[in-house]
Structure 1
Amino acid sequence: MSILFFDLDGTLIDSAVGITRCVAYALEKLGEPVPPQRELRLWIGPSLRDSFGPLLNDPVRTEQAVELYRERFDLHGWAEHEIYPGIGAAIESLHRDGHRLAVVTAKNEPHARRIIDHLPFGHLFETVSGATADGSISHKPELIAVALERLRVSAGDCWMIGDRRMDMEGANSHGMNSVGVAWGFGGEDELRAAGATRIVHETGQLIGLFR
């Protein structure tokens, strides 16, 4: 039996529409130009402050942007996603096989919990570790540490499963194994460069990997 930590965006759900629309909304409200869609997709994974900060170069406006993003996300963005084909069946199978499951995401924790609560397989996750509102906990090493503490497990018994380098790097910081999922927003090259232990290309491969 393993303890499996799943990233949310790009791993369980394709949330590109909701996230990019909320980023664009925040920037438009601040009178800032909106980057092209291909650039906005790179915002999926890092914490909001890590993305808005370098662009706005102003701590006050960065916080305003985060609040505006959350304003739209709370109304619309949280529901603007699609579940990746087959991921629900994979989660259900892993749970039946006795693995313990959790979600570890840089998304604001209340928003992440809201999404998980509405997924048909969301009840199978024991906890959701997400970012704090003030950003004091927002990076994968910290978020993984919270999940480890909540579940009272050691990193050596856990795997981090995600689609971006932050997931792999977070796992590496704790000496954890990791699985990079190539169907998300990072891509195989990014995952390999970040030190993924294994890489899978289809959701069903997760079942065999841990069986």
Structure 2
Amino acid sequence: MANRTARAICFDLDGTLIDPYLGISRSIAFALERLGVAGVDEMTFEAFIGPPIQDAFQRLLGPDLSLTTSAVRYFRERYGEIGLFEATPYPEISAVLAELSAEASLFVCTSKPKIYADRIASAFGLDRYFAGIYGSELDGTRTSKSELFAWLVEREGLGEVAIAMVGDRSHDMYAAHENGVSAFGVLWGYGSERELVEAGAERLFSTVHELRTLPSIIGVEPRRNRVRRSSD
């Protein structure tokens, strides 16, 4: 097996590769306005970046599932047409991905629906660096990052490969540990250093430039990952 395919790096999307705040916050505001909900502050908007959108709305709006369903529908009405393009790739991320893709197989693993992740990666020219882009489905299938990660590994046949998960939120770290792979946190996103450390981040990166060291950190020799199969 060549060195490139002996290592795989899985990246979260929002808060790791791109800053999605403008599009997400405006789409949340649109949904809440349609529902007649007021008084939501900026910190609440930031909490929506990372977790599945259904979970974030339910925490905000309470146990009424019909209200959450309506909020998600209104959110997607704007986000799917406008909001997903109101994002900015982090500085240097394209150059770093270009370097990493020559040394490892790269994947996107995001709780965001795949239909959105594909369009975002294509719009910003990031798709060229990835062997695969994995996300949830609009019907809620695989919104669990741990389940999605297991499915990615199974689909790509990475069970004997040295793998790292790179992300900015606790659920990225939990997904990595639950699947027996390395968990690395980034500090330019929306999760705090404390959140990442408490979730078990093995290493923290302060700048995009530092990601260039990933291939040497995850090692060259293949190893068996303790992957929780998506069927478990």
Residues in 1 aligned to 2:39 and 2:49: alpha-carbon distance in whole angstroms: 15
Asked whether the equivalents of residues 7 and 161 of structure 2 are also in contact (C-alpha less than 8 Å), the reply is: no
Check if 1:207 corresponds to 2:212: yes
Summarize the alignment of residues 112-127 of structure 1 with structure 2, pairs less than 5 Å apart: 112-127=117-132
User: Quick one: distance in 1 between partners of 2:74 and 2:147?
Assistant: 25
Residue 25 of structure 2 corresponds to which residue in structure 1? 20
Give the partner amino acid of 1:78. Answer: L
Give me the whole-angstrom Cα distance separating, in 2, the residues matched to 1:156 and 1:179. 17
Partner residue in 1 for 2:201: 196
Structure 2 residue 8 is the aligned partner of structure 1 residue 11: no
Alignment match of 1:54 (pick from 48, 51, 59): 59
CA distance, structure 2, for counterparts of residue 75 and residue 138 of structure 1 = 21
Determine whether 1:67 maps to 2:76.
Answer: no
Q: In structure 1, what is the Cα distance between the partners aligned to 2:198 and 2:150?
A: 23
Residue 22 of structure 2 contacts residue 87 of structure 2 at CA under 8 Å; is this kept in 1?
yes
Q: Distance in 2 between matches of 1:34 and 1:135?
A: 28
2:112–2:135 contact (8 Å) kept in structure 1? yes
Structure 1 residue 34: deviation in Å? Answer: 4.5
Task: Give the alignment partner of residue 80 of structure 1, picking from 86, 107, 110.
Answer: 86
2:99 pairs with 1:133: no
Q: 1:12 and 1:73 mapped to 2: Cα distance?
A: 18
Paired residue total:
210
**Alignment TM-score, normalising by the size of structure 2:** 0.87
- Scaled by the length of structure 1, the TM-score of the pair is 0.95
Counterpart Cα distance in 2 of 1:13 and 1:131: 18
Judge conservation of contact 2:184–2:202 (CA < 8 Å) in 1: yes
How many angstroms apart in 1 are the aligned matches of 2:163 and 2:42? 35
Match of 1:168 in 2: 173
**Is the 8 Å Cα contact of residues 27 and 34 (structure 1) preserved in structure 2?**
no
Distance 1:34 1:155, change over 3 A: farther
Q: Tell me how large the CA RMSD over aligned residues is.
A: 1.3
Aligned letter for 2:198?
A
Unaligned runs of 5+ in 1: none
What is the CA-CA distance between 1:156 and the residue it aligns to?
Answer: 5.9
Q: What stretches of structure 2 of length at least 5 have no aligned partner? A: 1-5, 217-232
Equivalent position of 2:228 in the other structure? none
Q: Choose the corresponding residue for 1:106, options 103, 108, 111.
A: 111
| Max Rg structure | 2
Residue number in structure 1 paired with 2:98: 92
Task: List structure 1 segments (4+ residues) > 3 angstroms apart after TM superposition.
Answer: none
Kept after mapping to 2: 8 A contact 1:4/1:158: yes
- CA deviation after TM superposition for structure 1 residue 6, in Å: 0.4
